[in-house]
Structure 1
Amino acid sequence: MSELEVNSAQNRAVKLELQYLPCLEYFTCILQHEQVLIDIEERYVKQTFRNRCSVLTTNKIDVLTVPVKGYEAASPTKDILIDYNQEWIRRHLGCLKAAYGKSPFYEFYASELIDTYGKKPKFLVDLNYELLTICLRLVGIKKEIRYILSGEREDDNGVFNAISLINNKKTQNAFNYYSPVAYYQTFGNGFVGNLSIIDLIFNMGPEAKSVLLRSCESR
């Protein structure tokens, strides 16, 4: 058993950063812990899943990025502002419709997500948290999830710190919490794993959770 597996077995809770429409590994990590602590005071790291996600389009993997306003080095994630001077919402929603408009469950789930973008949250954490909340409900994952600040000592014991552990910098298939389990995807000849949870939700609907559970069990 690896050090990570030992830590996961011993700790009921895990500490994570907020991510934008997170990848499947983020959700399999949540499934493997009883409590999830979202640290909104952790240091913001650019070019990570904090403000980007990957979706599968007609012939490629497309990366969607939420632009943010300038910030000082080592700024906490909770202070990061979304830049609405760029027309990124139209780009993201257009890409999602092009990628998943013909998927089996797009018409059932898309409107709630679209409404969230229409609210134009000021802070990145607010956008990410609302989207995460919606996706958890659509998948059927019920966990104790709450915001924390990095300095909360009461959370130190019995909590595995997985901040930045689920990232887009590592090589493909180098996962800590996830083992790819193929499911129906609208495009492509070969299965692509660990895309945004949106790929799984739009393609599999009510079966999304069972795919995630099997992705945990096959590790």
Structure 2
Amino acid sequence: MSKIAIDLHYLPNLEFFAAIAEAEELLVFPRDRYQRQSYLNRTRIRLANKVETLSIPIVGRRPRIPLEEVKIDYSQKWQAIHLRGIQSAYGKAPFFEYFFPYFQEIFESGEESLLSLNQRFLTVCLKLLRSSARIAIASEEKIPDGVRDIRGQIEPGRPFSERVFYQPVPYTQLFGVDFEPNLGILDLLFCTGPEAEKILRESVKKQ
């Protein structure tokens, strides 16, 4: 069985899904430390005139706390902002009406934990991509033998072209003339629907 240790990103980008394309089990480590300026609480969508980053606010600014202790700050009404942004970006996309309710339900659930919220989003994404990979929670901090560890590798600070996971495969996006690679998974799902799985498999960088 192919097992990969992952970070639970918020509505992960296409590089993330290319990296886990062959995985049968995705191992999450709740005691890993929260990293600011990471994809743990941010995703990217394409609006009419720009690419927008959506960020989930967290309670407090305590550095280096375990992921399982990170709570979402609902005082900032971030759900309304994110839902409005997603609807503006993809409301006219071919598969929006089919897939959006899955995500809207999670947005409106009031999940307190960032880790739990991200796990729910990833579970739905895997389902819509018809992936057989399952998410497992590690019971200890030590990584088991035979597990490929990609934690900390997919980060906003460096371009995806410098890493070994993802090569862009263009598809028809809603806005713009030039293809914008490596957006959040919502872009691919809403724009391509059942073709998303095939596009992701073609996006796996040849080693």
**Shorter-chain TM-score tier:** over 0.9
The structure 1 residue matched to 2:49, chosen from 14, 36, 59, is 59
The structure 2 residue matched to 1:95, chosen from 69, 73, 85, is 85
Give CA deviations for 1:159-211 in whole Å, capped at 9, x if unaligned: 12211111111025223211100001000110011110000000000000000
- 2:108 — aligned with what? 118
RMSD: 1.6
In structure 1, how many angstroms separate the alpha carbons of the residues matched to 2:162 and 2:173?
22
SS in 2 for 1:31: coil
SS in 1 for 2:18: helix
> Does the aligned pair in 1 maintain the 2:24–2:132 contact within 8 Å?
no
- 1:188 — aligned with what? 176
SS in 2 for 1:85: helix
Amino acid at match of 1:207: E
TM-score, scaled relative to structure 2: 0.95
Q: By how many angstroms is 1:101 displaced?
A: 0.3
> Does the aligned pair in 2 maintain the 1:18–1:40 contact within 8 Å?
no
Amino acid at match of 2:148: F
Amino acid at match of 1:50: L
Q: Name structure 2 gaps, 5 residues minimum.
A: none
Q: By how many angstroms is 1:25 displaced?
A: 1.1
SS in 1 for 2:189: helix
Query: Is 1:45 aligned with 2:71?
Result: no
Amino acid at match of 2:138: I
- Give the length in aligned residue pairs: 207
Q: By how many angstroms is 1:212 displaced?
A: 0.2
Query: Is 1:32 aligned with 2:8?
Result: no
Give CA deviations for 1:122-149 in whole Å, capped at 9, x if unaligned: 1001111111111110111111321114
Call closer, same or farther: CA 1:218–1:187 in 2, change over 3 Å. farther
In structure 2, how many angstroms separate the alpha carbons of the residues matched to 1:150 and 1:62?
36
- 1:79 — aligned with what? 69
In structure 1, how many angstroms separate the alpha carbons of the residues matched to 2:151 and 2:20?
13
Identity %: 32
Moved runs in structure 1, 4+ residues, more than 4 A?
A: none
Query: Is 1:138 aligned with 2:132?
Result: no
Query: Is 1:204 aligned with 2:192?
Result: yes
The structure 2 residue matched to 1:162, chosen from 150, 157, 179, is 150
TM-score, scaled relative to structure 1: 0.90
SS in 1 for 2:136: strand
Q: Compare 64-73 and 117-126 and name the one that shifted more.
A: 64-73
Amino acid at match of 1:103: A
In structure 2, how many angstroms separate the alpha carbons of the residues matched to 1:72 and 1:41?
15
Amino acid at match of 2:134: E
> Does the aligned pair in 2 maintain the 1:17–1:40 contact within 8 Å?
no
SS in 2 for 1:121: coil
Q: By how many angstroms is 1:57 displaced?
A: 0.6
- 1:176 — aligned with what? 164
The structure 2 residue matched to 1:213, chosen from 176, 201, 204, is 201
In structure 2, how many angstroms separate the alpha carbons of the residues matched to 1:26 and 1:149?
23
